[in-house]
Amino acid sequence: MNSISFDRGFFSVLAKKALEQDFEHVVMPRKGKETPEQEAEESAKTFVALRKKHSAVESNINELEHSGANRVPDKGLDRFKKYVALGVLAYNLKRLGKLVMEQGLLTTVTLPGKSSRAA
């Protein structure tokens, strides 16, 4: 990993200096009015690109929360891994369903003894 990013509001001078020793790029936007140095740093192409990636990760986290990975009622690492895996599976099935519907890949199939259904 060569970069790390945070939401606005997590800025700390000490934290940023410590993280810069381990990461090539540290995306840690500050709150409030920007200084000229801050504006130059936050308008750099690399900073902007990594900030956009951070937004995509936040979006994916939100989607996983809606797929059931927001709470783990059981205790223990094995159960946690199971719930996370099920949340990822639910998310992937949802995405596949959207892709199938967008591409019009659903066909009508008549099952023996049943009426016409989409499969």
pLDDT digits (tens, 9 = 90+) for 50-100: 888 888 888 877 877 777 677 777 788 888 888 888 888 888 888 888 888
Is residue 97 packed enough to be buried (19+ CB in 10 Å), middle (13-18) or exposed (0-12)? exposed
Given a contact cutoff of 8 angstroms between Cβ atoms, the answer to whether 60 and 83 are in contact is no
Task: State the pLDDT confidence band at 114, using cuts at 50, 70 and 90.
Answer: low
pLDDT tens digits along 25-53: 888 888 878 788 887 888 888 888 888 88
Rounded-to-integer distance, Cα 53 and Cα 99, Å:
22
28 against 1, higher pLDDT? 28
What pLDDT sits at residue 105?
67
CA distance readout (Å), 86 to 18, 47, 63, 93, 102: 36, 34, 13, 10, 24
Q: Look at residue 118 in the predicted model and tell me its pLDDT.
A: 53
Give the whole-angstrom CA distance, residue 119 versus residue 22: 51
pLDDT at 119 over 60: no
Q: Which of 104, 5, 103, 113 has its CA nearest to residue 54? A: 5
47 vs 26: CA distance, rounded Å: 8
Instruction: Tell me the whole-structure pTM to 2 decimals.
Output: 0.52
Neighbouring-strand partners of residue 5: 27
User: Across residues 4-29, what is the average pLDDT?
Assistant: 85
- pLDDT number for residue 109: 59
